[in-house]
Structure 1
Amino acid sequence: MAKPPLPIGSWGEISTWVVQTDTKGKPVKYKSQAKFRDHDGHVRQVSKYGKTKTAAERALQQKLQDRAKTNQSGELTAMHKISHLLDLWEKRFERLVTDGKRSPTSLETYRRAIKNHVRPALGELRIGEATTPRIDTVLTKIKTTAGASTAKTCRAIISGTMKLAVRYGAISVNPVREADTIEAPPKQPPRALTTEEVQLLRKSLAADDYAHQADLPDLTTFMLATGVRIGEALAVLWSQVDLEAGTVEITHTIARLKGEGLIRKTTKSKAGQRLLHLPNWAIATLRTRQTAGIRLDDPIFADTLGGYRDPSNTRRALRTALSPIGNTARRDLGLSLRALRRQTGMTRRQVAETLRWPQTRIELVETGRIKVDHDMVATLVASYGIGLEHHHPLLAQIHDATQPAESDKLAWIRSHALRKTTATALDQAGHTARQIADQLGQAKVSITQDIYMGRQAANPAAARALEDAFEDPELP
């Protein structure tokens, strides 16, 4: 009976012998050799040398193991570590980004999730050990510690890697397929600004020196007029605007990539590349921004040096501006709290780390741009070693600062609320979901309907239609 062939990526018995001796006949060099079946099916001799028999055999073992991992032509085994599989999946995604089929920002997001969550949880397991119950447990833990959004990202990554393992023959079924789906209600349900809130927003930004310094009034107007994402708005060049025709061309977005800085890249999908018509009030805003020195290749909303603005910094500035100083009492309280912090020698970052608060919250409190209450201030000053109950002047300031202000109506607004407002306005004007999705640059109408369109519960037309359909003239 013929001897069965070596499995792909494995080797036979290792042989070692002396190949060199010194003048006294003492061995000084050994050679270890074994037959290795490569991933093209051919059996080849693989050898390695060492000063001792043990050293030669260890060197050969390492060479054979490395060859089994790296010399692949599309195959894996269930014994490979998931960490190795993640490397293969990441390289494949990099090629898709290079080919323009995937977004570089998606790659950055996946890399963070792999580094912080997936690799620590699964990297040292073998592919064959990645069972559905084990993956389910990992995803549940990630959801608990990092949130549903991160868990969904990790689920997509693990599913993609396991799909790759199935394709390469390491396993026969993707274990993620039967894992429990990750569901969580949105932190903030779709909400659009009312007409009164839009007027209050524009009035508030126009009266805010900080907002003017950050060039936010015109940017907000442009986003309301178009429904574009903030990165898309920052990527528009003057050459893409035709004020005579009243149109703007959306083709790119601004993103920050690790190791590359700010880049202007094409939109995530073909649906994102679109020609939009501008309302007259938006055209008027853009005309006022035009000056004789503007070049066609300049961005409309540039930074102070005339270059591209960072979307993250712009969002932060918008959040700050959308929390305007509510009243004089709130501003005075913020100044007092800032003075107390400085007396302790602490920075805003140190306070934020101590309390596990976002650093921006400390800034908003100290500038009077956030509504505070007694408990919040008590927690804050406690980190300075101050007991609020013994600080009577501060207690009096808190009483005055906690009174309602008109600007509190704007505190909930984020940049995406402007997109929702545009979508809802078009919906109420009778535009179809497909037309609204095209305006927003979304390929799937379902996303537009579920996330960006603030639906109205009342529908008088439905009552009239049912009345006409089922009215019985013989009934009293």
Structure 2
Amino acid sequence: MPRPPLPIGTWGEISTRPLKTTKNSKPTKHQAHAKFRDHDGKVRAVTATGTTKTAARAALLLKLQNRAKTNHSAELTAAHKVNHLLDLWEKRFEGLVADGTRSPTSLATYRRALRNHVRPAIGELHIGEATTQRLDAALTGIKEHAGAPTARTCRAIISSAMKLAVRYGALTVNPAREVDAIEANPKHPPRALTTEEVVLLQTCLTADEHAVEADLPDLVTFMLATGVRIGEALAVLWNQIDLDNGTVEITHTIARLPGEGLIRKTTKSRTGERVLSLPTWAATSLRARHAVDIRPATPVFPDTIGGFRDPSNTRRSLRTALSTVGSTARHELGQMLHAFRRQKRLSRKQAAQTLGWPQTRLELIETGRLKPNHQLVSILAKTYGIGLDSTSDLFAQLKEAIQQTDSDKVAWIRCHALRKTTATALDQAGQTARQIADQLGQAKVSITQDTYLHRQPANPSAAQALEHAFDDPDLA
């Protein structure tokens, strides 16, 4: 009966023999030898040397183990740890990024989720131990500590990795497939700006010297006119704009990658590559920006030195511009709180750490850029050793500061709200969901409908349509 073949990735018995000897026939060098069955099924001889038999065997054993690991890179068993599976999954995703079929920003997001959440939660489990119940419990914990969006990202990673384990024979079914869906109410439901809010937004931005210096009025106009993402807007070059025909070509986006800095990369998908027509008011705005001697391959909305702008910094600039000093009363209240903090000999950083607040929140309060309330000022007063109700000047100033101002109406606006505003305007104009999705550069119409379209009031024509549908006196 023939001897059964070695399993792939394993080796046979290790033997040793002397290679060099002294004049006294004392061995000074040994060779260890074994047969190894490679991933292609062929059996090959593998050798290693050492000054002693033990050293030669140890060197060969390490060589064989490394060779087995390399040859098993596309094979898994239920005994492998999940971390090994995640390594393989991450390597494959890197290949997709190199091929241009996946975005490098997606890889950065997934690596962050792997490092901070997925590996700590399930990495040390064996693949066979990653049951639906364990995965469900792990994702529930991630949702509680990091929020639903992060948990959804982790669920996508785990499901894709377990799918790989099924494909390579480590599992027979994907245990992540039956994990409960991660649901949560959206933090910011779809909301579009009204016509009044659009006018007020532009008024606030054009009146702010710093916002004008940062090109925010023109940038907001361009985003409302096109519905593009902030990164896409910042990636547009002058040679992609045809002012004669009133069109703009969207092909790239700006992103910041860890260790690489700002990059101009292709859009999220092929659907994102599109040519958009510009309203006349947007073309007029761009024509006013266009200089005769401007270079075609430069950004339309550059930074201070003519390069590409960071989307995160631009978002921050917009937030700051819209968190304007709401009233003289808020400014004076902020100055009063600033003085009390200084009397306590606390720096802004020290006070923020004591309160457990971001330092920027305290800055917004002291500069009058955040609408205060009784509870917020009471906490600050207590921190500074002051009784709010017993300090008449502070209490009176608070009463004035909490009054509504025009700037409060636009303080909620973020870059994505502009995109939703464009989508909603197109919807109200009678555009189909497919047409709106194409304008926004989205492949799935469902995302456009669920995330970007502001819910309309009850349809008045519905009552007319039903008026005579059940026109039966017996129903009265």
TM-score (norm 2): 0.91
- Structure 2 residue aligned with 1:430: 430
For residues 63 and 122 of structure 1, what CA distance do their matches in structure 2 show? 30
Change (3 A) 1:16 1:97: same
- Structure 2 residue aligned with 1:389: 387
- Where does the alignment leave 5 or more consecutive residues of structure 1 unmatched? none
Change (3 A) 1:347 1:249: farther
Aligned-partner SS, 1:36: strand
- Structure 2 residue aligned with 1:7: 7
Change (3 A) 1:72 1:26: same
Conserved? CA contact 1:237–1:299, under 8 Å: yes
- Where does the alignment leave 5 or more consecutive residues of structure 2 unmatched? none
Structure 2 matches for 1:51-70, cutoff 5 A?
Answer: 51-70=51-70
Structure 2 matches for 1:264-413, cutoff 5 A?
Answer: 264-339=264-339, 348=348, 351-380=351-380, 386-389=384-387, 392=391, 393-413=393-413
Bigger mean CA deviation after superposition, 393-402 or 303-312: 393-402
Change (3 A) 1:474 1:59: closer
Aligned-partner SS, 1:388: coil
Bigger mean CA deviation after superposition, 453-462 or 147-156: 453-462
Q: CA deviation at 1:191?
A: 0.9
Aligned-partner SS, 2:40: coil
Root-mean-square deviation over aligned CA pairs = 2.6
Does 2:86 correspond to 1:78?
Answer: no
The amino acid of 2:126's aligned partner reads: R
The amino acid of 1:459's aligned partner reads: N
Bigger mean CA deviation after superposition, 396-405 or 208-217: 396-405
Change (3 A) 1:361 1:85: same
Conserved? CA contact 1:79–1:126, under 8 Å: yes
For residues 281 and 209 of structure 2, what CA distance do their matches in structure 1 show? 22
For residues 117 and 185 of structure 1, what CA distance do their matches in structure 2 show? 22
Change (3 A) 1:433 1:297: same
Q: CA deviation at 1:362?
A: 2.9
Q: CA deviation at 1:468?
A: 4.5
How many residues align structurally? 474
- Percent identity between matched residues is 68
Conserved? CA contact 2:9–2:38, under 8 Å: yes
The amino acid of 2:92's aligned partner reads: R
Aligned-partner SS, 1:420: helix
Structure 2 matches for 1:455-474, cutoff 5 A?
Answer: 455-471=455-471
Conserved? CA contact 1:40–1:73, under 8 Å: no
Bigger mean CA deviation after superposition, 116-125 or 99-108: 116-125
Conserved? CA contact 1:211–1:217, under 8 Å: yes
Conserved? CA contact 2:381–2:387, under 8 Å: no
Q: CA deviation at 1:474?
A: 11
Aligned-partner SS, 2:404: coil
The amino acid of 1:76's aligned partner reads: L
Q: CA deviation at 1:216?
A: 0.9
Change (3 A) 1:125 1:34: farther
Bigger mean CA deviation after superposition, 74-83 or 222-231: 74-83
For residues 31 and 126 of structure 1, what CA distance do their matches in structure 2 show? 36
Aligned-partner SS, 1:255: strand
Aligned-partner SS, 2:61: helix
Q: CA deviation at 1:80?
A: 2.6
For residues 419 and 86 of structure 2, what CA distance do their matches in structure 1 show? 36
